[in-house]
A and B are shown apart, each in its own frame.
Chain A
């Protein structure tokens, strides 16, 4: 009994080894190992590279700064008559101003306006690293505050208290004095919203972490993203500008329709 039984598993093993699927599995395992090892190796080298080259990035940023920004902000970013000092503004400020295209400024005006971004992401990171190396300042925010997964109702309350007077309760923006304005917040990235709050660009006041905690900032971003992704329940919002655009619409189209109907009713039939 035992003699007849023993060759059987051996035969099974043999045929299993010969199966065409075995080679496929072998190749797949081999690929997984090499791929995983390569990924491990490359990430470790990459992090090693950034560590080793952070000084180099700062140097690169310094060069970019000297050729693009120093005219106004001065060599060493100490500021001149035509531009403020950037010592201590932090990486967040640079990422916001350059990342939204506000800097470099096109021309003198009531305020620097959003326009096409001039630098690549690497160049912006280098500039930010350089400015951040001058003095401690607000850093680029942690990604966990930018996921827009917070409490949108709490964010809405904070937005109404702290932001809505300038940016409009629906984030549609609004006018300030002497040609300045608070921009619309529709389509602004979560990172730029956060950076604007901690750095207070241009006319905007600073809302530091003691005033609005990072979690609350996340809630505010959640609210703004909710507004962006959900249609207005009241139908077409006419820019959410309130009585100005709504009144103008009624004035032109409502009264126009009444005038047209009146003319039609009183005209003689031909």
Chain B
């Protein structure tokens, strides 16, 4: 077991430090380990220590790896020029990324592997001990530190000039406030967020339209087993906030056999001849629920596998969602187009602060 000079000193210093520390009866700690230090296993020379040709071979491997790294770097540059990204051809991105990546990977891996191999096979491998320094400073150092603080306090006057100190603390507290105000600006302004979450674009008489074209839907177009992805008519013409409105107003329209539909008595007039419209926004965390199975009439949310039974007013039959999907009351206007009777009668989507 070889210890270098520094380590030897440190070891004695550490030991003497521990010895001098006066320990109270209550906080005394057993310093010595019950298990004896087994020490290092006997030093075993490597092949490269004994066999000069093995040593030369290891050296050759290391510098070959470093040369390979240079080749990799050059290859990456060459690949960047040889496989440019052509805007009209998505396949060119693939070749460009692949070959640049391969070159860079070779360049970096070869340096790493070469360095590790160098360290393991060629660098001196005798075992040594570096003992940790004691964490606690010497008494002089500690006294000097206290002195420095006292001196700084004296010179700056931070303890004495309380007006300066307090105004500085105030300034530091005020500094992050603009960020808070700026972040607030990302949310809806001059409007109550809970009010916004409670209402959607649907109103009495809004026609149901096909996503994305905005073509209004006639009741006769919705054949049995159909599923229509619906937006309110006029959504595409909104000057701004189209996505925000769509995120709340998206609706799935389905036609079931009227006898398959088990409607709540208070929602008796909400469907039309087996056509029902439900919010597409999951009541769990707001994913679009649109995996409709037309034979079982089950709706599956792809994010967390909540299942809703369309034939049974979209009640939750599986998964983490707690509320049924809100139903949009629909009717037919004089021209045969499907219209909303009103907005959703409850907020769509997941719970928020004012809604549990």
The residue among A157, A182, A206, A264 with the most chain B CB atoms within 10 A of its own CB is A206
Q: How far is the CA of A166 from the CA of B289 in the complex (A)?
A: 10
Give the contacting residue for B94; candidates A174, A180, A206, A233; CB below 8 A.
A233
B70 within 8 A of A: no
Q: Which of B17-54 contact A (CB under 8 A)?
A: 44, 46-48
Chain A residues with a Cβ closer than 8 Å to the other chain, count: 33
Chain B residues with CB under 8 Å of A204's CB are 294
CB-based contact B121/A206 at 8 Å: no
- Cβ 8 A contact of A206, one of B120, B225, B296: B225
Judging by beta carbons under 8 Å apart, are B120 and A200 in contact?
no
Assembly CA distance A142 to B227 (angstroms): 23
Taking a contact as CB atoms closer than 8 A, the residue among B98, B226, B296 that contacts A208 in the complex is B226
From B194-202, B210-218, B267-275, the one touching the partner chain is B210-218
Q: Are A177 and B296 in contact (CB under 8 A)?
A: yes
Q: Which A residue's beta carbon lies closest to that of B58? A: A269
B263-298: which residues lie under 8 A (CB-CB) from chain A? 288, 290-296, 298
Bound-state Cα–Cα, A235 to B252, Å: 35
B155 to chain A, nearest CB (A): 51
Name B224's closest neighbour in chain A (CB-CB): A206
A206 touching B223, Cβ below 8 Å: yes
Determine if B116 is an interface residue (Cβ-Cβ < 8 Å). Answer: yes
Contact: A269 with B226, CB < 8 Å? no
> B254, B288, B298 — which one has the most chain A CB atoms within 10 A of its CB?
B298
| Set of chain B residues within 8 Å of A268, measured between Cβ atoms | 44, 120
Report 19 cross-chain contacts, Cβ distance below 8 Å, ordered by A residue.
Answer: A165-B290, A165-B291, A178-B296, A182-B291, A202-B295, A203-B294, A203-B295, A203-B296, A205-B294, A210-B218, A211-B221, A233-B90, A233-B93, A235-B97, A235-B98, A264-B116, A265-B120, A269-B48, A270-B47
Give chain B's interface residues, CB within 8 Å of chain A: 44, 46-48, 90-91, 93-94, 97-98, 116, 120-121, 125, 210-212, 217-218, 221-229, 254, 288, 290-296, 298, 300, 302, 307, 318
19 more CB-based (< 8 A) A-B contacts, given A177-B293, A235-B98: A157-B212, A158-B212, A161-B211, A161-B229, A165-B288, A165-B290, A176-B291, A177-B296, A177-B298, A178-B296, A182-B291, A200-B225, A200-B294, A203-B295, A203-B296, A205-B254, A230-B90, A233-B90, A270-B47
